[in-house]
Structure 1
Amino acid sequence: MINLSRIHFPVTTLGPGRRIGIWFQGCSIRCPGCISMDTWVHGRGTTKVGAVVEAVSPWLSAADGITISGGEPFDQREALFDLLAGLRARTKADILVFTGYPWATIRDALATSPSLIDAIVSGPFDIDETQTLALRGSDNQELHLMTPLGRARFEGLNRRIDEKDRTFDVMFDENGDVWLAGIPARGDFRRLRAILEGGGSTLRISEDTRFPSL
């Protein structure tokens, strides 16, 4: 079984090309300033791994890659690797995984299945770090290229961030909630909230807002 927050296609802001986004539900790391507090709680969205593979299968032929984030995928390590194996059996698209765990913590687990992940961004989000690198929320996070496909697809993202990285994908769910996928600059969500509320809208955001420095 797997606890899942949501899936979406296409996602264009979390890796190269048009990607399938899969967000795990539940996170034990809970980085201060996280933009996705809604994915912290464990025990929501429980389903079978095979059901997730079937749900994304209609998109696989059109997808350049798959991005798995959360929540924290490595909190559900067995489900994560079952999902990766199921996806690998159906597509040659690249697979990128975001984890808040340091590289030293997950390296041994990855060694047992070295070909399941093409690239991985590791390390916790740190609100006291600068944010100057592409595909990373803070500069302590590391991009690891795990396979030849990963090197071909992601080597160009080992660079400084630029303006084209400051974009979001907008998603709507069946309840009318709006989800933004991407890696925002510090304070982007608060600026968006101020703009929308200034126009008379009411907005509740999932960002951890306990830290005024954001």
Structure 2
Amino acid sequence: MSTAINLSRIHFPVTTLGPGRRIGIWFQGCSIRCAGCISMDTWVHGRGTTTIDQVVEAISPWLSTADGITISGGEPFDQREALFQLLKLIRARTDTDILVFTGYTWTKISDVLASSPSLIDAIVTGPFEIDEKQTLALRGSDNQELHFLTPLGRTRFECYDRSINERDRSFDVMFGDNGDLWLAGIPARGDFRRLQTILESAGSTLRISEDTRFPSL
């Protein structure tokens, strides 16, 4: 029997979370729940239940043309067994790079990563900190760290070991079957609320997934 996994969404192509046209896989459920998170809709556990085999089947048509795979959430390491089983199946089907985002610090997951070498090429670790600056590429706050775990990871992601620029402010727009709209990317502080203000001033209504208990900086 295939292992169960809870996912928020899958999308292709994603161009804002790593180099090239990428397959994006967002896990559902997060125990870290960073203050000011832009993806509160991915916090609740138990939604979006499917199986690893079904996920692999869903992404298989894209594997031959995808430049890479990005896994985020939610929190992938809250479903550690499912995450690594999924990674093994993906590795068996493609040699493209795999990038993972996690809110856990490097010290909390480095031993786990060492026990499964080569499944992840690069990883961004650490919780989003709303009071930290946001000056580094591929990171929502400067406390987060970009690690290269394989030679391929260094080759593909060393170009992100730098300060942020205007091109990093792009978003991918995704539409759900029920009319929901998602933006994939790493926004600047307050981007979602500015978009909400602009649309509402034009007579539209927009509900955002940002944690609004804390002001965006």
Structure 2 residue 19 is matched with structure 1 residue 12: no
User: In structure 2, the residue corresponding to 1:193 is in which secondary structure?
Assistant: helix
- Determine the structure 2 residue equivalent to 1:136: 139
Q: CA deviation at 1:125?
A: 0.1
Q: Which residue of 2 aligns with 1:208?
A: 211
Report how far residue 211 of structure 1 moved. Answer: 1.1
Instruction: Give the Cα separation in 2 of the matches to 1:65 and 1:213.
Output: 31
Alignment match, 1:88: 91
Q: Please report how far the alpha carbon of residue 166 of structure 1 lies from its aligned counterpart in structure 2 after TM superposition.
A: 0.4
Residue of structure 2 equivalent to 1:103: 106
1:169 aligns with 2:176: no
| 1:155 and 2:177 are equivalent in the alignment | no
Shift of 1:212: 2.1
CA positional deviation for 1:39: 0.1
**Which 5+ residue runs of structure 2 have no aligned equivalent?**
none
- Contiguous gaps of at least 5 residues in structure 1: none
The Cα shift of 1:50 comes to 1.0
- Cα offset for 1:114? 1.1
Please say if 1:186 is aligned against 2:199.
Answer: no
Structure-1 separation of matches of 2:92 and 2:48:
24
TM-score (normalizing by structure 2)? 0.98
In the alignment of these two chains, the number of paired residues is 214
Does 1:47 find its partner at 2:50?
yes
| CA distances 1:153-208 after superposition (whole Å, capped 9, x unpaired) | 00010000000000000000100100000000000000000001011000000000
Q: After the TM superposition, which parts of structure 1 deviate over 6 Å for at least 4 consecutive aligned residues?
A: none
User: Contact conserved, 2:5 with 2:49, CA < 8 A, in 1?
Assistant: yes
1:58 to 1:213, Cα distance in 2 relative to 1, 3 A:
closer
Normalised by the size of structure 1, how large is the TM-score? 0.99
The letter for the 2-side match of 1:112 is S
User: What is the identity percentage for the equivalent residue pairs of Structure 1 and Structure 2?
Assistant: 81
Contact 2:36–2:215 at 8 Å: present in 1 too? no
Shift in Å, 1:213: 4.5
CA RMSD of aligned residues (A): 0.6
Q: Does 1:114 align with 2:117?
A: yes
1:94-113 Cα deviation digits (max 9, x unpaired): 00000000000000000111
